[in-house]
A and B are shown apart, each in its own frame.
Chain A
Amino acid sequence: MSTTAELLKGAAELFPGEVVTQAHVRHFDLPLGAGRFALITLDNGHDHTKPTTLGPQSLANIDAAIDQVEKEAADGEIVGVGVTGKPFIFAVGADLKGVELLKRHEDALAIGKGGHDVFKRLSKLAVPTFAYYNGAAMGGGVEIGLHCSYRTVSAALPAFSLPEVFLGLVPGWGGCTLLPNLIGAEKAVSVIIENSLNQNRQLKGKQVYELGIADALFEGADFLEQSLIWTASVLKGEITVERPAIDRGEAWDQAVAKGRFVADSKVHGAAPAAYRALDIIAAAKDGDLQKGYDAEDLALADLIMGGELRAGIYAFNLVQKRGKRPAGAPDKNLARPVTKVGVVGAGLMASQLALLFLRRLEVPVVLTDIDQERVDKGVGYVHAEIDKLLGKGRINQDKANRLKALVTGVLDKAEGFADADFIIEAVFEEMGVKQKVFAEVEAVAPAHAILATNTSSLSVTEMASKLKHPERVVGFHFFNPVAVLPLLEIVRGEQTDDASLATAFGVAKKLKKTAVLVKDAPAFVVNRILTRFMGEIQNVIDEGTPVEVAEKAVEPLGLPMSPLVLLELVGPAIGLHVSETLNRAFPDRFTVSPNLAAVVKAGKRGFYVYDSGKPELDPEVAALLKQGDSVLTEEQVRDRVLDAVAQEIGLMLDEGVVAEAQDIDLCLITGAGWPFHLGGITPYLDREGVSERVNGRRFLEAGVASVPA
């Protein structure tokens, strides 16, 4: 038994639940009389809904297949070796479930080394090797192909990526080293760093070819046949593959520098994966592959044993799994059909909601408002947005016609809502106004219609309290921009019944939103945490810490934007309003900043001016600020802010605002854009000991989003 086999056997024992991929070897004669060929098919025995992954036993199977073809190649029995996947899937990389189980650095090192040892053999066979990227290829799937002499790709391939950095790893089975040596550092950085950090952007088959990763592109209908005919031509010398020379000079360093800039702008130095990958890419410049592989092994092992990766996998699973099966949602069979939607209000928010319902549900949507001019403006907005979609080619003329015909505006609610099944209000954020609107709607709407409110902080229960049928009121809280942020907080009022709630979840699913069930508590989840977070920043500024120190203090978290830039995006007036609401609910923890009030009163839209291209404190704002004399360090600020957040989340869980800490994290990731490497926030608070310090307990059990004990 080779040492590779032993290594993989040991690794496989740590991962008994692996979905094992077989490496089938099949022989046949190539066309054009090019000779006998061995084709390895990677196949886990399931259909395409369970993509092929590469756990340790799977690697061992590939190793065994290579044993076979290596001998045949050496004996002159075959002229080449190919690798391809089952229908629609090439291979989507390492099995993350197995990675999560690893507890020791040496075991993590073995995974990296095991993959390298197996894949490297492909480049050392006595005959040329070919990868045929027939379907989805990610991570280790991409990398097995990079070790081959040649690659073809299907034009029908929907997704190709090295997503490791997105998850908190590096492409560590040759990706960081081989890709820049194949296509140059600039393109490699775009694939490994930029795509990963841009919501894990995927390449299509044509792009894989255009980037030079694949040597030939063939259409999906007869991809494998054409790949094999091409292979025969290459082997016979009728086709010579020419790849452009790689610039190993200054361009290489510039590409890496650009990668660092991208990483800084996305994670602000807070997550190590991108930087580790860039270090390896930088070192790959001299073409010393083995040195690169060793660096990959070490980086993989360090990252696997670090908290960011575990948080990244946790976050990935939250979004991919929990986000699709909301905790606490009632039986979906209770949901009522929604065949017409009413929107109360025709302002910007209401119009955006109308557009979203229209596009996703494709049912009639009727807008109402207090005068014809507003109604016309709302419908006009929707029409204009449909025209934009048409202009971009996102929809065709027939679809545009259909959507435009479905949206109408009326002044008379009785006329508009008499046959609506789901009516959502987006009127002024004041309890009296909302109660009045719902009373009017109830008077004209069918008895079964759901009344939904897009309130961000008012009590859903109170809003429903004066209705004849309060059981059909639900909170339906979207996040701005509605078309971009996936989160939808679905709020259950005290009297909301299961059928109404099930209908709300059904609608959310059709809207393609990530729905989280939330109790009717002040400001629900995201706004409550963000307000506490911002409030604490505001407090330390008010008490005397310079604005730039307060802002820099939270940079290591790698949030999508600094607190004051976020405040600017939300609008200082709205921020103030929410803090006042929460201050009324929890006066001991939520303060109303007099400085913020002053800024709002002065009509300022933000704290910064951008005249120099970078944010600088607006001198007019600076003049308004009245600060105390307590000056904290960045670290002290950070501790205070994180303590506040940990306390607030602890209280929210005690109050039952959501079912579990996982829902808090899902909300922050999908509603506030908090990064994967924080796992939302609770894995980070656990890892940094904040939870223990503030609440005396962790939010998540050890091993969940962290290295198991």
Chain B
Amino acid sequence: MPRTVRDVVFVDGVRTPFGKAGPKGIYHETRADDLVVKAIRELLRRNPGLDPKKIDEVAIAATTQIGDQGLTIGRTAGILAGLPQSVPGYSIDRMCAGALTAVTTVAGSVAFGAYDVAIAGGVEHMGRHPMGEGVDPNPRFVSEKLVDESALFMGMTAENLHDRYPSITKQRADEYAVRSQEKAAKAYANGKIQADLVPVSVRRTNEEAGETGWGLVTADEPMRPGTTLENLANLKTPFRVHGRVTAGNAAGLNDGATASVIASEDFARENGLPVKMRLVSYSFAGVEPEVMGYGPIPATEKALAQAGLSISDIGLFEINEAFAVQVLAFLEHYGIADDDARVNQYGGAIAFGHPLASSGVRLMTQLARQFEEQPHVRYGLTTMCVGFGMGATVIWENPHFEGDK
């Protein structure tokens, strides 16, 4: 049967505000699946042209797929969100790149012709599911030295990446972190972030965490506007004595969910849905697990090669800030300045937070908004590092591109 690959577009993306994990966090008494449900429902409200019956798939990522993140959360969240029972769903896991992989996986199916439109997103409630919950690494990893013991501890891998790039000092990492907070605060002040957030009602019964009863979350909890270098200078380096990685130049432990609508371009146009980004290429790559923050570099190499583009064609970057060093390593590799205006214009995970498997769609939602505002840009990319030594990159084309002027 002859087959034509179809163009795939990013129709829309939303997320819950991100929270701080832990007993005092805003989502401490909120279920992870409920976070996903709120995001899916907001997508449907924002896109009345999308007939829920036509949704072909709900792909939801989570790293720890147990409890309220288990039970094939893509399926259960669809039912809980009120989607017709005829709409199927499944779960995805690629740790930090979960939501990104949800997007590329359904995108592949759309391109192939299996789906017309799908919902892709992710969730991580790191308060209810701390990193490492229930893991059982095969002892051969250590006995046969398949990976370095530091591979399972993300902070240690970030220290290892500093080792690989001696020129990336703690000072540079801290400076980067301060800029991320500044840019995020500015983006908030300009209303760039709130427009893609869905408010979430949250209950609190623990008086030690603050006022009790029902409340409403409308903004990211982890943000620390006004952070200065001095604030960061003396923070502990918990992963290595005299190390460089601190809570200040890394993303925190967070709770949150994201969701997006991915469709064939034809479907989007026929149903009057917005076309915010056009998928160009995507790629994943593996690296030594103990320097997992290096992952975005080979992944981006592959994605650029597929697209026949070079790094200089990319006008906007959304790089997940798991650690400042990992962004800086990427920039250093490509000879891009630490404060290049194309990179993370709204700030990044250091400010907003990084609920592991949810973050990929946050990057896309922010890139989509930047595309709309900057029609002179043709290509942008979203990239992130992934635990156990991987990188993930998606290259997008700006449908608002007005040509080279």
Q: Decide if B212 touches A26 in the complex (CB within 8 Å).
A: yes
Q: Decide if B37 touches A41 in the complex (CB within 8 Å).
A: no
List A residues at the B interface (Cβ < 8 Å).
22, 24-31, 37, 39-41, 43, 45, 84, 86-87, 219, 221-222, 224-225, 228-229
A214 → B minimal CB distance (Å):
18
B278 interface residue per 8 A CB criterion: no
Q: Decide if B213 touches A221 in the complex (CB within 8 Å).
A: no
Q: Decide if B82 touches A221 in the complex (CB within 8 Å).
A: yes
Complex alpha-carbon distance, A28 and B198, angstroms: 15
Interface of chain B: mostly helix, strand, loop or mixed: mixed
Which one of B80, B82, B205, B216 lies within 8 Å of A224 (CB-CB)? Answer: B216
Q: Decide if A221 touches B80 in the complex (CB within 8 Å).
A: yes
A39-B213, A221-B81, A222-B41 are known contacts; what are 8 more A-B pairs with Cβ within 8 Å? A22-B212, A26-B212, A26-B214, A28-B215, A40-B213, A225-B198, A225-B200, A228-B199
> Which residues of the other chain, A, contact B201 by a CB distance below 8 angstroms?
222, 224-225, 228
B204 interface residue per 8 A CB criterion: yes
B80 nearest in chain A by CB position? A221
List B residues at the A interface (Cβ < 8 Å).
37-38, 41, 80-82, 198-201, 203-205, 211-218
A65 → B minimal CB distance (Å):
9
Complex alpha-carbon distance, A25 and B200, angstroms: 18
> Which residues of the other chain, B, contact A224 by a CB distance below 8 angstroms?
201, 214, 216
20 pairs, CB–CB < 8 Å, chain A vs chain B: A22-B212, A24-B211, A24-B213, A25-B211, A26-B211, A26-B212, A26-B213, A28-B218, A39-B215, A41-B203, A41-B213, A41-B214, A43-B205, A43-B213, A221-B81, A222-B37, A222-B201, A224-B216, A225-B200, A229-B199
Complex alpha-carbon distance, A16 and B218, angstroms: 41
> Which residues of the other chain, B, contact A225 by a CB distance below 8 angstroms?
38, 198-201, 216
> Which residues of the other chain, A, contact B37 by a CB distance below 8 angstroms?
221-222
> Which residues of the other chain, A, contact B200 by a CB distance below 8 angstroms?
225
Complex alpha-carbon distance, A27 and B217, angstroms: 11
Q: Decide if B38 touches A29 in the complex (CB within 8 Å).
A: no
Q: Decide if B216 touches A28 in the complex (CB within 8 Å).
A: yes
Q: Decide if A31 touches B216 in the complex (CB within 8 Å).
A: yes
> Which residues of the other chain, A, contact B216 by a CB distance below 8 angstroms?
28-31, 37, 39, 224-225, 228
Complex alpha-carbon distance, A543 and B164, angstroms: 113
> Which residues of the other chain, B, contact A31 by a CB distance below 8 angstroms?
199, 216, 218
Complex alpha-carbon distance, A26 and B213, angstroms: 6
Q: Decide if A25 touches B41 in the complex (CB within 8 Å).
A: no
Complex alpha-carbon distance, A87 and B37, angstroms: 17
Q: Decide if A27 touches B198 in the complex (CB within 8 Å).
A: no
Complex alpha-carbon distance, A201 and B216, angstroms: 34
* Among B81, B82, B199, B214: residue with most chain A CB under 10 A: B214
B34 nearest in chain A by CB position? A221
Q: Decide if B212 touches A41 in the complex (CB within 8 Å).
A: yes
> Which residues of the other chain, B, contact A27 by a CB distance below 8 angstroms?
211, 215
> Which residues of the other chain, B, contact A26 by a CB distance below 8 angstroms?
204, 211-215
Complex alpha-carbon distance, A28 and B200, angstroms: 12
> Which residues of the other chain, B, contact A228 by a CB distance below 8 angstroms?
199, 201, 216
Tell me the number of A-to-B contacts counted with CB atoms below 8 Å: 64
Q: Decide if B213 touches A29 in the complex (CB within 8 Å).
A: no
> Which residues of the other chain, B, contact A41 by a CB distance below 8 angstroms?
203, 212-214
A82 nearest in chain B by CB position? B214
Q: Decide if B80 touches A25 in the complex (CB within 8 Å).
A: no
B46 → A minimal CB distance (Å):
13
B216 → A minimal CB distance (Å):
5
* Among B81, B82, B199: residue with most chain A CB under 10 A: B199
Complex alpha-carbon distance, A225 and B212, angstroms: 17
* Among A31, A39, A225: residue with most chain B CB under 10 A: A225
Complex alpha-carbon distance, A29 and B219, angstroms: 10
Complex alpha-carbon distance, A588 and B37, angstroms: 72
B338 → A minimal CB distance (Å):
34
Complex alpha-carbon distance, A134 and B212, angstroms: 17
Complex alpha-carbon distance, A224 and B211, angstroms: 17
> Which residues of the other chain, A, contact B82 by a CB distance below 8 angstroms?
219, 221
B82 nearest in chain A by CB position? A221
> Which residues of the other chain, A, contact B204 by a CB distance below 8 angstroms?
26
B49 → A minimal CB distance (Å):
20
Q: Decide if B214 touches A84 in the complex (CB within 8 Å).
A: yes
B42 → A minimal CB distance (Å):
8
> Which residues of the other chain, A, contact B218 by a CB distance below 8 angstroms?
28-29, 31
B219 nearest in chain A by CB position? A29
B79 → A minimal CB distance (Å):
10
> Which residues of the other chain, A, contact B212 by a CB distance below 8 angstroms?
22, 24, 26, 41
A219 nearest in chain B by CB position? B82
Complex alpha-carbon distance, A41 and B204, angstroms: 10
A57 → B minimal CB distance (Å):
17
B254 → A minimal CB distance (Å):
20
> Which residues of the other chain, A, contact B38 by a CB distance below 8 angstroms?
221-222, 225
A27 nearest in chain B by CB position? B211
Complex alpha-carbon distance, A39 and B216, angstroms: 10
Complex alpha-carbon distance, A181 and B405, angstroms: 67
Complex alpha-carbon distance, A39 and B211, angstroms: 10
Complex alpha-carbon distance, A84 and B80, angstroms: 22
Complex alpha-carbon distance, A84 and B216, angstroms: 13
* Among B38, B215, B216: residue with most chain A CB under 10 A: B216
> Which residues of the other chain, A, contact B217 by a CB distance below 8 angstroms?
28
> Which residues of the other chain, B, contact A221 by a CB distance below 8 angstroms?
37-38, 41, 80-82
Complex alpha-carbon distance, A225 and B202, angstroms: 9
B318 → A minimal CB distance (Å):
25
Complex alpha-carbon distance, A354 and B77, angstroms: 40
Complex alpha-carbon distance, A43 and B205, angstroms: 9
> Which residues of the other chain, A, contact B80 by a CB distance below 8 angstroms?
221
Complex alpha-carbon distance, A228 and B41, angstroms: 16
Complex alpha-carbon distance, A26 and B205, angstroms: 11
Complex alpha-carbon distance, A43 and B204, angstroms: 11
* Among B200, B213, B215: residue with most chain A CB under 10 A: B213
Complex alpha-carbon distance, A67 and B333, angstroms: 62
Complex alpha-carbon distance, A30 and B216, angstroms: 8
* Among A30, A31, A222, A228: residue with most chain B CB under 10 A: A222
B106 → A minimal CB distance (Å):
22
A187 → B minimal CB distance (Å):
29
Minimum-distance CB pairs A-B, first 6: A24-B213, A41-B213, A224-B201, A26-B211, A26-B213, A24-B212
A84 nearest in chain B by CB position? B214
A398 → B minimal CB distance (Å):
14
Complex alpha-carbon distance, A87 and B213, angstroms: 11
Q: Decide if A39 touches B214 in the complex (CB within 8 Å).
A: yes
Complex alpha-carbon distance, A22 and B217, angstroms: 22
Complex alpha-carbon distance, A224 and B38, angstroms: 11
Complex alpha-carbon distance, A182 and B217, angstroms: 33
Q: Decide if A25 touches B199 in the complex (CB within 8 Å).
A: no
A35 → B minimal CB distance (Å):
12
B352 → A minimal CB distance (Å):
18
Complex alpha-carbon distance, A221 and B39, angstroms: 11
Complex alpha-carbon distance, A219 and B82, angstroms: 9
> Which residues of the other chain, B, contact A40 by a CB distance below 8 angstroms?
213
Complex alpha-carbon distance, A87 and B41, angstroms: 20
Complex alpha-carbon distance, A25 and B213, angstroms: 7
A37 nearest in chain B by CB position? B216
B85 → A minimal CB distance (Å):
13
* Among B38, B81, B198, B203: residue with most chain A CB under 10 A: B203
Complex alpha-carbon distance, A39 and B213, angstroms: 8
> Which residues of the other chain, B, contact A222 by a CB distance below 8 angstroms?
37-38, 41, 201
Complex alpha-carbon distance, A30 and B218, angstroms: 8
Complex alpha-carbon distance, A153 and B11, angstroms: 32
A133 → B minimal CB distance (Å):
13
B81 nearest in chain A by CB position? A221
> Which residues of the other chain, A, contact B81 by a CB distance below 8 angstroms?
221
Complex alpha-carbon distance, A43 and B214, angstroms: 10
* Among B81, B198, B201: residue with most chain A CB under 10 A: B201
Complex alpha-carbon distance, A28 and B216, angstroms: 6
